[in-house]
Structures are given as structure tokens and as C-alpha cells.
């Protein structure tokens, strides 16, 4: 098992690579999508529900930029373990079954081939229309540290998704007024199956693994749209669509613990024993949908040491990253939270390795 740190595009800097190393990480997971970018000329991109806009249609990540990114990480003495999340501009019509679906499928395949050539082994993705939505901030972690939670009916009202938006980002600010037609569970599963049947063989050939994140928050529907993996057993359904080493999981412990069914230790056993885990989002929570809060790694519902023992027993050799943490009260709230989580993870890993 290896320690990693996830960094957003604007955070892929020499200082942050040094921070990662200082905290004990050896690997980086990079988000290349520019979330929370705003442009005042695009009125629809603003608003509390939006993560900003994207105009990257057709601008699929090239071999050269991926090669250069990996070199940047390697030059800092770290490894690039994975990329996390496609830009919604790349695949909105794959998610929505729209007219540009086939063209976008070819674009996604090209990204996977480019990643293989550049030596980036994992692509994390979240096959979701509503995406990560509806969480609110509050002082719910130890010492009143600010974190995020999901409050179900006590949280924000589930507004319909406007046309021209998917996964919280606006890809067409000039879309006609109105909202997306709701999607059913079976429709969305069929879209995922079509995606995996086309892309998994390309990933196999490229030596890249596709890693699926579960739906966060894990509700059966959100904003009128069905969601795919909102119970632990539905991860198995995803794997069974196209059985392959290249069809794997971005295994989010927090999201899995927020689900209403299953025992989290059995869930970790079930999927790690199949070698289905590409990398792990290692975070802790208190509660389950429709009411949960993200907390520090050592104070939530899960015994994270027990989880790590199961991963170790099943020879999981991939990367674990903190995912999110509460914000600590100091001049660097994000950094302190990440350093705290990584220090804890490193200690547990050392302990477990010494026992064997």
C-alpha cells in the first residue's frame, strides 16, 4: 500500500509536491478539470449549485500534456498514480445519451490511449448526471472543525438540473431554457454498460484501469435523476457488466460508509479480495444517508485501522489518498487537514507492515 495526495489542477505546483513528500506521500492523484472556474459573461455558470463552466469541448488531454504532467511529478520525486474525473465537456452526451455521444466516446478512448503511452495507470471517473451535490458546510468535526455534511430533506431543495449542465458544470451557457428530462435507473445502467463495453477493451490494450467512484451522496435519486452505485452491492453490478482488470474501482470508503446497506468491513473484503480496487479514498464519516457528516479520519463510524488490515491482508498494493478532510483552524486549513490524515495513515501503515 502506498500513500498519495489528491491535487486539483491549480494545485499542481512545486510547493504542493514538496508538501506531499513532507507529509509522507509518494504518489499524486491529479484532477485536470478546472472546477469552480467562473466567467461573469456567462450568467448561468454562477449560482450556489454550480461548480462553474467548462469550454473544453473536444480539447481531450493530449499525449504531450500528460507526458509533461507526469515528468513534472516525477521530477519532484513522486509518482503520478491516477487522473481523477473527466471534464464534463468531454462526455456530457455519453452521460445524457445525446447526439455527440459517439464522437465523445472516441475522444475518451483517445485520452485512455494517451494515458497509457504517458505511463499513467489509472483513470478515475464518476458516471453521474447530478454528480456530487447537496452537501452543506458546518462545524461538525472534532473541535468544531468545519466539514461538509448531507442533510437530506433538511438540506437544500432538490432543484431540477438546467439544460446545458451536467455533473454541476455548465457546458452550454446558451442552451434553451428548461431542465433536463429525468433519467431512470435502467436507462442510466444501459448508458454505463455501453460506455464500459466500448472503453474497457481500449483501456486493456493501453494498460490503463478505469476506476469508478460511487455516487456521492449515495442517494437512489438526486435532483430527479437516478444514480448508479448508491449501495455497496451495486459496485458488483458495475464490475460484472464487463469483467476485466481494466474495469475497476475508485474505492471511496466515506461514500460506502454513508450507504444504508451492508457492513463496511465485509464490503472492503468483498472488493479488495477481487483485486478490483485501483485506488482508495481514505476518509471517515459519521452517519448514513440521508444524514451524515464528514469527520476526521480517526473519529468516524469506521475503524480505519481494521479497514487497513483488510486491505493489507488482501494484498492491496495501490494508493490510498485522504479524499477530503475537515478544515483545521489555522492559516492553512486544507493543508493541516491533509497533513493530519496522511500522518495518521502513515502510522497505521507502518504498524501493520511491522506486524507481518
Least Å distance between CB 205 and Mn ion?
Answer: 28
Least Å distance between CB 323 and Mn ion?
Answer: 4
Q: Which is nearer to Mn ion, 202 or 228 (CB)?
A: 228
What is the full DSSP assignment across 214-277?
Answer: PPSS--SEETTEE-S--STHHHHHHHHHS-STTEEEEEEHHHHHTSSSS-HHHHHHHHHTTT-E
Q: Which is nearer to Mn ion, 114 or 257 (CB)?
A: 257
Least Å distance between CB 283 and Mn ion?
Answer: 7
Least Å distance between CB 275 and Mn ion?
Answer: 20
Q: Among the candidate windows 8-16, 176-184, 256-264, 274-282, which touches Mn ion by CB under 5 A? A: 274-282
CB 83 within 8 A of CB 32: yes
Q: Among the candidate windows 80-88, 221-229, 315-323, 338-346, which touches Mn ion by CB under 5 A? A: 315-323
C-alpha cell of 246? 481494466
Radius of gyration of the chain (CA): 19
Least Å distance between CB 251 and Mn ion?
Answer: 9
Instruction: Output the CA torsion 102→249→222→234 (10° steps).
Output: 100
Cα separation of 53 and 164, whole Å? 10
Instruction: Indicate which single residue of 31, 135, 209, 281 sits in contact with Mn ion (rule: CB under 5 A).
Output: 281
Least Å distance between CB 184 and Mn ion?
Answer: 25
Cα separation of 32 and 62, whole Å? 12
Q: Count of residues binding Mn ion (CB under 5 A)?
A: 3
Q: Among the candidate windows 112-120, 173-181, 251-259, 261-269, which touches Mn ion by CB under 5 A? A: 251-259
Q: Which is nearer to Mn ion, 11 or 72 (CB)?
A: 11
Phi and psi at residue 291, to the nearest 5°: -140, 105
Q: Which is nearer to Mn ion, 60 or 293 (CB)?
A: 293
Q: Which is nearer to Mn ion, 195 or 251 (CB)?
A: 251
Which residue, chain included where needed, has cell 481494521? 306
Burial class (CB in 10 A: 0-12, 13-18, 19+), 99: exposed
Least Å distance between CB 326 and Mn ion?
Answer: 15
Least Å distance between CB 248 and Mn ion?
Answer: 15
Q: Among the candidate windows 8-16, 55-63, 144-152, 248-256, which touches Mn ion by CB under 5 A? A: 248-256
Q: Among the candidate windows 129-137, 188-196, 266-274, 322-330, which touches Mn ion by CB under 5 A? A: 322-330
Cα separation of 247 and 244, whole Å? 5
Q: Which is nearer to Mn ion, 252 or 278 (CB)?
A: 252
Cα separation of 214 and 147, whole Å? 20
Find the residue with minimal CB distance to Mn ion: 252
Query: What's 150's DSSP letter?
Result: E
Is position 252 an interface residue for Mn ion (rule: CB under 5 A)?
Answer: yes
Instruction: Indicate which single residue of 31, 323, 327, 345 sits in contact with Mn ion (rule: CB under 5 A).
Output: 323
Q: How far is CA 171 from CA 4, 34, 39, 97, 111, in A?
A: 31, 12, 12, 15, 19
Least Å distance between CB 288 and Mn ion?
Answer: 16
Q: Among the candidate windows 56-64, 229-237, 323-331, 332-340, which touches Mn ion by CB under 5 A? A: 323-331
Q: Which is nearer to Mn ion, 165 or 285 (CB)?
A: 285
Least Å distance between CB 45 and Mn ion?
Answer: 24
Residue 220: name the closest of 272, 178, 271, 182 by CA: 182
Q: Among the candidate windows 76-84, 201-209, 281-289, 311-319, which touches Mn ion by CB under 5 A? A: 281-289
Q: How far is CA 261 from CA 213, 217, 218, 268, 315, in A?
A: 17, 14, 11, 13, 26
Burial class (CB in 10 A: 0-12, 13-18, 19+), 47: exposed
Give the interface with Mn ion as residue ranges (CB under 5 A).
252, 281, 323
Amino acid at each position: 500500500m502506498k500513500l498519495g495526495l489528491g491535487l486539483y489542477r491549480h494545485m499542481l505546483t512545486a510547493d504542493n509536491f514538496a508538501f506531499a513528500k513532507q507529509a509522507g506521500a509518494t504518489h499524486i492523484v491529479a484532477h485536470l478539470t478546472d472546477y469552480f472556474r467562473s466567467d461573469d459573461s456567462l450568467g448561468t455558470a454562477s449560482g450556489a449549485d454550480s461548480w462553474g463552466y467548462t469550454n473544453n469541448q473536444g480539447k481531450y488531454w493530449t499525449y504531450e500534456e500528460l507526458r509533461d504532467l507526469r515528468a513534472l511529478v516525477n521530477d519532484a520525486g513522486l509518482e503520478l498514480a491516477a487522473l481523477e474525473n473527466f471534464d464534463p465537456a468531454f462526455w456530457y452526451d455519453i452521460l445524457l445519451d445525446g447526439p455527440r455521444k459517439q464522437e465523445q466516446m472516441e475522444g475518451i478512448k483517445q485520452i485512455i490511449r494517451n494515458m497509457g503511452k504517458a505511463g499513467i495507470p489509472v483513470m478515475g471517473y464518476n458516471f453521474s448526471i447530478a454528480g456530487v451535490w447537496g452537501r452543506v458546510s458546518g462545524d461538525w468535526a472534532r473541535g468544531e472543525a468545519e466539514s461538509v455534511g448531507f442533510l437530506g430533506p433538511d438540506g437544500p431543495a432538490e432543484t431540477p438540473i438546467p439544460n446545458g449542465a451536467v455533473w454541476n458544470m455548465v457546458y452550454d451557457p446558451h442552451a434553451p431554457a428548461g431542465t433536463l428530462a429525468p433519467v431512470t435507473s435502467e436507462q442510466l445502467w444501459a448508458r454505463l454498460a455501453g460506455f464500459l463495453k466500448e472503453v474497457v477493451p481500449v483501456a486493456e490494450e493501453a494498460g490503463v484501469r478505469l476506476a469508478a467512484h460511487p455516487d456521492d451522496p449515495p442517494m437512489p435519486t438526486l435532483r430527479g435523476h437516478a444514480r448508479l452505485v448508491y449501495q455497496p452491492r451495486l459496485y458488483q453490478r458495475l464490475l460484472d457488466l464487463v469483467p476485466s482488470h481494466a474495469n475497476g474501482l475508485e474505492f471511496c470508503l466515506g461514500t460506502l460508509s454513508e450507504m444504508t446497506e451492508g457492513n463496511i468491513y465485509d464490503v472492503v473484503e468483498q472488493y479488495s479480495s477481487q483485486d478490483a480496487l485501483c485506488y482508495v479514498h481514505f476518509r471517515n464519516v459519521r452517519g448514513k444517508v440521508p444524514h451524515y457528516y464528514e469527520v476526521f479520519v480517526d473519529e468516524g463510524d469506521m475503524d480505519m485501522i481494521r479497514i487497513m488490515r483488510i486491505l493489507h491482508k488482501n494484498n492491496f498494493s495501490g494508493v490510498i489518498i485522504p479524499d477530503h478532510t475537515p478544515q483545521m483552524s489555522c492559516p492553512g486549513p486544507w493543508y493541516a487537514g491533509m497533513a493530519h490524515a496522511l500522518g495518521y495513515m502513515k502510522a497505521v501503515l507502518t504498524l501493520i507492515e511491522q506486524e507481518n
